Structure 1
Amino acid sequence: MSRHLPPTADNALASQLELAFEDNRLAAQLYGDFDQNLALIEQRLAVSATPRGNHVLLKGAASKVDQARRVLESLYANLEEGRSIDIADVDAVIRMIETEDSQLTLPTLERKGKVRMAQIATRKSTIVARTPAQDAYMRAMERSELVFGIGPAGTGKTYLAVAHAASLLERGDINRIILSRPAVEAGERLGFLPGDMKEKVDPYLRPLYDALYDMMKPENVERCITSGIIEVAPLAFMRGRTLSNAVVILDEAQNTTSMQMKMFLTRLGENSKMIVTGDPTQVDLPRGEKSGLVEAVNLLDGVEGVHVSRFGDKDVVRHALVGRIVRAYEQDAMRRLARKEGDTEGLARTLGTLPRS
């Protein structure tokens, strides 16, 4: 329940709103330990949020007060459904609300302005989208056969891809998960490295394993790897195969050549999905070698069955400083490419900073 109060005498443009939450126990969880959730809302939205029992008094600019209301009501709805919330969830809902009027693909908004964020659930864990870009990406993975996740590290594109694959495997929608990554450091000549196949590619696929262990019990992961249900395959070993009834994930795809990317994409078989992730600003290919990821995105964006999800520095879900670091590196990458080739159009279009013709 909410009740608008008259403007304050010292600022006629300010707004006051009192929210009431029926359950005192849930209200305490909503506020967070030492009211930390309210403190974050105050900091991010430039409002005052004062708790009084199961009531919260909001003060600030009218638009900001309304945003704070929607954030609190969305979080409270999650608590009513039996889900716990933490400071990261508060940050996620604030991001969602702040981008409502932007040109981004938005999450579904329920009545009363409550945000319904996309989720990925397995027996061990449930992941909720933390940014609008994550929300769009998670929904795209459900409906599209080929999804590109393009953007900087820390945006969750690889983690969410593995989580989605684990969820489909548990549901019985697929029979296999295939994880691949170009091993640029070894020049893709893995036969020269010591050990069996798993030992050769493990160092390159560690981030993918980390996500698997978060979504599945360790013993289940090991059993699936041993039985071949979860397969680790270097990109060079994909040639000649048809991958059916599987989710196939290619990580660090910016380091594929044009020929490698075409070879990989044409492995798609019946009842399969492909998820390709990468950061076009972090290409480690030899000088003069064009990234297969940049080319593929520019060629396939808009093709039926293909979805391109683009992440930016605002979607980084690690420390806030990481977002600013990513922004600085992206700008530097564009400058370096301009000096090197005199044309940043391909990269800009891939990153989503230039419209397609």
Structure 2
Amino acid sequence: MSPRHGPGGRPQPRSGQASDLTHVVVAFDDNRLASELFGQFDQNLATIEKLLGVDVVARGNQVTIRGGAEACAQARLALDLLYVRLTQGHPIGTGDVEGAIRMAEDAESQLALPSLEPKGRLAMAQIATRRRTVMARNPAQDAYIRAMDRAELVFGIGPAGTGKTYLAVAYAAALIERGDVARLILSRPAVEAGERLGFLPGDMKEKVDPYLRPLYDALYDMLPAERVERGLSSGMIEVAPLAFMRGRTLANAVVILDEAQNTTSMQMKMFLTRLGEGSKMIVTGDPTQVDLPPGQVSGLAEAIDLLGDVEGIVQIRFADTDVVRHPLVARIVRAYDAATPAPSAVRRHGGRP
């Protein structure tokens, strides 16, 4: 394979000093997986070159990385992360490559540092369900999955497209399948953007289903349809508007509150105090997309300020760089963020486990 270079010819080390130039040689055990790792026409290696400013040359099952010491270390880590994904039977695409690079760049953070596999390679956090295995694609997702493992209450806060709801439903489905909890309860505020249930046609189920559709979609993506239908019929899986939570104690369950930015202060307090023995709660939302009437405080914004130092609660903050949808979504989020005042500061990987 012929060597390629990043933008502007051979990449320069980040410090700009020739003395910082180094090279790293990485060998992979499986030639077939190495070929998949490099990508068609070495496109995955080209992405690493472009984003990290290194020169990557592949020959056979080996890769030689040249550039600044820090960038070379990050490129090697990114390749290790992607190779582990392939050894576990998961394909990789452009989004996975970019996610691995972000993971490598953020590896100094202990919460974002992936765990070691038996052979010494690094692995991103993952969630295994009957239909698919979902792997973290960036440091924030990795921290989020690990937080759900160790904490009883997790806040996933950030813009659309970062995987907050999808990963929460995947994690809940995995707990149900393993028998770690007896029930899965999915909830959202049912009043959004000035619309009220009373003005919608149909019975109560028909009124609230449109609001809960994203939760249904994620659930069907994780579990076989017949399993979901049986769970909904038996009550093992419950999808309900937030108003239906009042007066209940939710024990031995995993409970997800989505679109939490549209809760009032009173609703959020009511929801959080439903937590019972043997349960986990996951709260997701974007404080920049509040549909409450003007002047009304978002229950999510208040909760993340009040509960930041409470033991047993972890807050994971996603940014526009963590968007895993179409790249244009990240640019849209950045444009809107630039035009609006910043919400209350929330630590990216804060809280106490």
Any conservation in 1 of the 2:190–2:211 contact (CA below 8 Å)? yes
TM-score (ref. length: structure 1): 0.86
Deviation, structure 1 residue 113 = 7.5
Q: 2:345: which partner in 1?
A: 349
Any conservation in 1 of the 2:192–2:262 contact (CA below 8 Å)? no
Q: 1:99: which partner in 2?
A: 106
What is the rounded CA distance, in whole Å, between the counterparts of 1:118 and 1:22 in structure 2? 22
Q: 2:78: which partner in 1?
A: 71
The 5-angstrom pairing of residues 199-278 of structure 1 reads 199-278=206-285
Cα root mean square deviation, aligned: 2.6
Q: Which runs of 5+ in 2 are unaligned?
A: 1-11
Change (3 A) 1:120 1:353: closer
Q: Which runs of 5+ in 1 are unaligned?
A: 1-7, 336-346
Structure 2 residue 297 is matched with structure 1 residue 290? yes
Deviation, structure 1 residue 351 = 6.7
SS where residue 22 of structure 1 aligns? coil
Change (3 A) 1:301 1:235: same
What is the rounded CA distance, in whole Å, between the counterparts of 2:237 and 2:195 in structure 1? 21
Amino acid at match of 2:44: N
Q: 1:110: which partner in 2?
A: 116
Q: 1:40 aligns with which of 43, 47, 67?
A: 47
Q: Hey, which bits of structure 1, 4+ residues long, moved more than 4 A?
A: 10-13, 186-189, 351-355
What is the rounded CA distance, in whole Å, between the counterparts of 1:77 and 1:236 in structure 2? 44
How many residues are matched?
A: 335
Amino acid at match of 2:345: R
Change (3 A) 1:188 1:272: farther
Q: 2:62: which partner in 1?
A: 55
Any conservation in 1 of the 2:23–2:67 contact (CA below 8 Å)? yes
What is the rounded CA distance, in whole Å, between the counterparts of 2:350 and 2:76 in structure 1? 35
Q: 1:280 aligns with which of 279, 283, 287?
A: 287
Q: 1:315 aligns with which of 314, 322, 328?
A: 322
- Between Structure 1 and Structure 2, the one with more helix by share is 1
SS where residue 233 of structure 1 aligns? strand
SS where residue 345 of structure 2 aligns? helix
Any conservation in 2 of the 1:177–1:248 contact (CA below 8 Å)? yes
Change (3 A) 1:261 1:32: same
Structure 2 residue 184 is matched with structure 1 residue 177? yes
Any conservation in 1 of the 2:126–2:135 contact (CA below 8 Å)? yes
Any conservation in 2 of the 1:198–1:232 contact (CA below 8 Å)? no
The 5-angstrom pairing of residues 118-137 of structure 1 reads 118-137=125-144
- Identity percentage of aligned residues: 64
Deviations 1:245-280 (A, max 9, x none): 211111111111111111111111221111111111
Change (3 A) 1:352 1:287: farther
Amino acid at match of 1:106: A
Amino acid at match of 2:116: E
Deviations 1:72-99 (A, max 9, x none): 2333344345444333322221111111
TM-score (ref. length: structure 2): 0.86
Q: 1:198 aligns with which of 205, 218, 224?
A: 205
What is the rounded CA distance, in whole Å, between the counterparts of 2:45 and 2:238 in structure 1? 45
Any conservation in 1 of the 2:161–2:323 contact (CA below 8 Å)? yes
Deviation, structure 1 residue 307 = 1.1
Q: 1:29: which partner in 2?
A: 36
Deviation, structure 1 residue 187 = 5.9
SS where residue 57 of structure 2 aligns? strand
SS where residue 184 of structure 1 aligns? coil
Any conservation in 1 of the 2:308–2:350 contact (CA below 8 Å)? no
Any conservation in 2 of the 1:107–1:118 contact (CA below 8 Å)? no
Change (3 A) 1:349 1:76: closer
Any conservation in 1 of the 2:54–2:71 contact (CA below 8 Å)? yes
Change (3 A) 1:45 1:301: same
